[in-house]
Amino acid sequence: MKYETFTDIDHALAMIAKNQETIDKRKKKYESDIAEAQKTIDLLSSEVESFCIKNRAKFKEPIKFLNNGSVGFRLNPPKILQLDRSFTVAKSLELIKKSFPGSYVKTKEERDNDEILTDYNANILDSSSLAAIGLKIEKSETFFISPVFETETVKIKSEVKR
């Protein structure tokens, strides 16, 4: 469609609102059916998982392919956890530094964007001082559409001139 005036845009917004309301009404209409179906899926999934855990010895491979899908056990990547509550992250970090000096500890240096923006807005930094350190401040804008729905205070015709 070709839009030539803001009146045309206003009509397009009305059509967007009308279509969004149709979507929302249909979602609401089927909300309970969807919730019931999700409940059934969750129950079946739990029962399938329990069966597979009990019968894990019957898995020759990590995945068992069946006619209507597959079930299996996926090995997750290893993760490091605290041994118990007596070891906090800070305590573990301290012990690592003592036991393995120079290893297993990251130090991350990064630019403090919040402080730079604060100082720029307070005129402590300007464009030339930022350019001297290889930086610049860029402001951008994002276009948005915000239609008024019929359920709100204003009702707009949904015809668009062509």
Residue 134 backbone zone (phi > 0: left; psi -120 to 50: alpha; other: beta): left
Q: Which two tokens stand for residue 127?
A: 């464009």
Measure the CA–CA gap between 80 and 112, rounded to whole angstroms. 29
Supply the DSSP symbol for 56. G
Report the candidate in 119, 136, 118 with the shortest Cα–Cα distance to residue 127.
136
Exposed/middle/buried for residue 68 (C-beta within 10 Å: 0-12, 13-18, 19+): exposed
Q: Is the dihedral of CA 55, 58, 63, 64 positive or negative?
A: negative
What average pLDDT does the chain have? 89
Q: Which of 10-14, 105-109, 155-159 has the lowest mean pLDDT?
A: 155-159
Give the per-residue pLDDT at 152: 53
Contacts of 72 (CB under 8 A, 6+ apart): 52, 59, 61, 62, 63, 64
| Residue 55 in this model has a pLDDT that exceeds 90 | yes
Measure the CA–CA gap between 38 and 95, rounded to whole angstroms. 47
Residue 156 or residue 49, greater confidence: 49
Total residue length of the chain: 162
What are the sequence ranges of the domains in the chain? 1-76
| Residue 162 in this model has a pLDDT that exceeds 60 | no
Give the per-residue pLDDT at 159: 41
